[in-house]
Copies of this chain bind each other. A is one copy, B any other.
Amino acid sequence: MKIALDAMGGDYAPREILLGAVQAKRAVDVDLILVGKRAVIEQGLAEIQAAEKLEFEIVDAPDVVHFDENPSSVKERRGASIRVMCELVKEGRANACLTMGHTGAGIISSLITFGRIGEVLRPCVGLPYYGLQPHTFLTDSGAIVDCKPEYLLQFARMGAIYVEKIWGIARPTVGLMTNGREDNKGNELTRAAFALLKASDLNFIGNVEGYDLPNGTANVIVTDGLWGNIAVKVTESLSEQLLRRLQKRFADAGLSDAVDPILQEFFEMMDYEHIGAAPVLGVDGLILIGHGRSRAAAVVGGIKSTRYAVQVDLLGALRAGLGEGRVVQT
């Protein structure tokens, strides 16, 4: 299996990306194609690898999209690493691609390169909520920040396909994230989406609220990309802060030896680095996107998640589930 990795994307690129690539290459059976400025990658690898030589294919890409740039600019930038990475998948030279770079640019690159599946209006990023609820799936976790009700219906459907095909849960429950469980809760967008979901053939259980995400009330929880992103980041940050604060308090009480191994289990459980990246659902090719702040461990996690998506044929499941115009059928 070959995975194209954007060596230039991320707050700590290229160093942490390359470090992650080296660690993944040692731990996982996967071929990695490093995409970016060849000279930078070669020098970065030389610095990291020390004595040991690992084999990577390098594909040169002269341009990089930075986080403060307009993601639409990627349309005109065929030489950007995030575009070249997608192109390798399109050409069949890689099975999937992965970036820790600009989410918007990743989405647009994948749309331009792969096109959409069936009648998908907008793609979304789908993320297992992991940690406390590894089998709750959140869509959209950051792709589309300005949504229409129809998009949310499609996000729900794509999430349900993921959960059904990949996790083997039949007729997964779908909840719509709002400010309360009553049918009349939510804003203009969610109230309209509620009507569409209610009329659909999905196993829609109605509105859910913030409590329901860590409680695993629904298999699929639907939000727009802005709230989904906020919910995920609050979760990551809060878990980390709370566990650190506990660890310090236990240390002050002289309890570190007894409790640290157990706290470590929880740090591990809540650590997004195991997931590392989330698939873009709805585009006709396999691309995963991770957090900009990813360091090497998250890159390893992202490579594993990408490998898993290829192994379980996530794209095939979406093509089958979204085929024949079923996307917006109600």
User: What residues of chain A have their CB less than 8 Å away from a CB belonging to chain B?
Assistant: 67-68, 70, 132, 142, 145-146, 177-180, 182-184, 186-188, 190, 209-215, 223-227, 229-239, 241-243, 245-246, 249-250, 253, 255, 258-259, 262-263, 265-266, 270, 292
Q: Which of B209, B233, B242 contacts A211 (CB 8 A)?
A: B233
Q: Which of B180, B188, B229, B241 contacts A210 (CB 8 A)?
A: B229
Number of this chain's copies in the complex = 2
A-B contact pairs, 26 of them (CB 8 A): A68-B183, A132-B238, A142-B179, A145-B186, A178-B226, A178-B230, A179-B229, A180-B229, A180-B292, A209-B229, A210-B234, A210-B236, A211-B237, A212-B237, A214-B242, A230-B231, A234-B235, A238-B238, A239-B242, A242-B242, A242-B266, A246-B262, A249-B266, A253-B262, A258-B259, A259-B259
Q: Which of B68, B183, B241 contacts A184 (CB 8 A)?
A: B68
| Dominant secondary structure at the A interface | helix
CA A142 – CA B185 in complex, angstroms? 11
Q: Which of B180, B211, B242 contacts A132 (CB 8 A)?
A: B242
CA A160 – CA B258 in complex, angstroms? 44
Residues of B close to A239: CB separation below 8 A? 238, 242
- Is the CB–CB distance between A230 and B67 below 8 Å? no
- Is the CB–CB distance between B238 and A188 below 8 Å? no
Known: A241-B132, A242-B242, A262-B250. A210 touches B232 (CB 8 A): yes
Q: Which of B213, B249, B250 contacts A237 (CB 8 A)?
A: B213
Residues of B close to A180: CB separation below 8 A? 67, 229, 292
Residues of B close to A211: CB separation below 8 A? 233-234, 236-237
- Is the CB–CB distance between A215 and B242 below 8 Å? no
- Is the CB–CB distance between B262 and A233 below 8 Å? no
CA A145 – CA B190 in complex, angstroms? 10
Residues of B close to A184: CB separation below 8 A? 68, 70
CA A179 – CA B236 in complex, angstroms? 14
Residues of B close to A178: CB separation below 8 A? 226, 230
- Is the CB–CB distance between A145 and B187 below 8 Å? yes
Shortest C-beta distance, A254 to chain B (Å), equals 10
CA A234 – CA B146 in complex, angstroms? 22
Known: A132-B245, A266-B242. A186 touches B226 (CB 8 A): yes
Task: Output the nearest chain B residue to A185 by Cβ-Cβ distance.
Answer: B145
- Is the CB–CB distance between A179 and B234 below 8 Å? no
Shortest C-beta distance, A13 to chain B (Å), equals 16
Q: Nearest 3 CB-CB pairs, A to B?
A: A210-B233, A145-B187, A179-B229
Name, among A190, A230, A253, the residue most crowded by chain B CB atoms within 10 Å (CB to CB).
Answer: A230
- Is the CB–CB distance between B258 and A230 below 8 Å? no
